Structures are given as C-alpha cells and as structure tokens.
Structure 1
Amino acid sequence: MKLNHINLYSHDTEADRAMFERYFGLQTLVVRGSTMAILQDDDGLVLIVNHFSRKLEGFAYPQEADILHIGFIRDTREEVEALHARLCDDGWEVEAPCQTHGAWAFYFRARGGYFVEVTTRTPVRPQEAYRDVVR
C-alpha cells in the first residue's frame, strides 16, 4: 500500500503553495482561487492545502511544533543547514537546527498555521519504534 495524499487546512493557501514550490520542489497541479491548492512531489505524493472555512467550526493547530507537522527529509546535515539558511534569509522565523531523535532537524510554522519539519534520516530501530504496539 502506498500513501497517495495529505490534506491540510491552511490559513493562507497561496503563501503555502509558493513555499512548497520554492523550498521543497513540489509542483502545483491545481489552484482553486484562495481556497485550495493541489501540489505533487517527485514521488507522486499529492499535498492539498485548503481553506474551507465552512468546515472548521473552531479548528486550530496546536502551538507545539512536534505535535502536528509534516516532514521533509534531506540527505545530509549540510542540506538541512542550507535550507535553514535560505528560509532565514527570506525572513522566515525558523528555530535553529538541533539534534533530535538521532537526526539533525528544525521546525518552522507555515503561513497556513501547521508546522514543517526538515530533517536528516532518523535511525529508527524496529524494536524501539514498535515497542508500545499491542498486537
């Protein structure tokens, strides 16, 4: 089975679409005004950012970066640092990269309200990843 799409609520679909194109190389497939943008990555995963306010009824993203976020993997620590520098140079408020879960990573809040993580690969060992899973 393959994950084929993610749909996120966005406070600013136009800014988020531009961010995903500029920093993460996604390509825009469809734009529906300021209410929705559909993008795709190099592997075919579709990311939808929407602003369907009629469906919200008090919805708010959590304040903590690690609770609800989407993540992008870079091959090296230097690539993480380079993207961090680009974002900072362009005026984004981005926390400093740090060691987390065995990887080099940082988080920042997208204009749409959710968080984005940029990280190197995490060395997850199966016995640790699934130790609390009840079978």
Structure 2
Amino acid sequence: MTRSLSPGRFARLLDTHGPRPERWPAAMRPAAAALLAGSPAARARLAEAQRLDAGLAAALPHPAPEAVARLRAAVAREIARTPLPAPATPWARLLDRLRPAAPAGWGALAALATCALWLGFSAAPAVGDPLAPLQTLPILEDPL
C-alpha cells in the first residue's frame, strides 16, 4: 500500500532529489507518480524543476574530453609510479601491538615507569604508629 503524497511533500521531494524520478527514493516513486497523474499543479511544478535543472546544466562549463583524458592518464601514471608500502619490520609490528598500552604516548609511559621505579627503589619510611601526628592536634580543645 502506498501512501498518498501531498503537494508540499512533492515540492520538498523535488527540492531535495531533483526532477529525475530515478533519483527519488524508491518508496516515494509510486505516490509521486499517482500525484503527477492526478494533479496538473504537480506536473507544472515538475516541468519547472526540469527547466531549472536543464538551465543549470547548460550554464555549467563542461571540460574538454581531451583534457579529461590527459588528466586520467596523468593520474594513472602517478599511481603506477607510486611505490608500494614496505612490509612492516618486526620492530614496527611490536610497537603497533604495544600502542594500546600507551594511549597518552610513549613519553607518558616512560614518565610513569620512572616514577614507579623511583617509588619502588626508594627507602620506605620507618613505620611506627600511623596516627602519631594526629595525637598532638587538639580536637575541640581537648588534648589527646
């Protein structure tokens, strides 16, 4: 079952997709054809859009076929001359696999490793009572 198409939606269809029915969405083509068969205003709007499309096509400059052929040949020569990428070395493949481990970059990973080594090899402070510094603080004017 096809839905009917209002003249306003048909105008938007023409503005969006142009006057050529092959460019219209396939689901809207039957409704547009039914509207065109029954509405002289829709046919007039389509004819106006076709005239505008033809005028725009005529006003645009068309490149010379020889220039297009030369351009295509030059692009084909450049593609043929471009060397293929070199296969990845084992070192490059290893770095590619390790890249997710350093999302902020290798410098950030090196800084993190340096901090971890520094904290790991530094002498640990003597562990006594961890609450000793708090015992000298007066809390609500009541010394502990």
Of structures 1 and 2, the one with the larger relative CO (CA 8 A, separation 6+) is 1
**Rg bigger for which structure?**
2
* TM-score normalised by length of structure 2: 0.17
More helix by share: 2
TM-score for the superposition, normalised by structure 1: 0.18
- From the two aligned structures, give the one with the greater strand fraction: 1
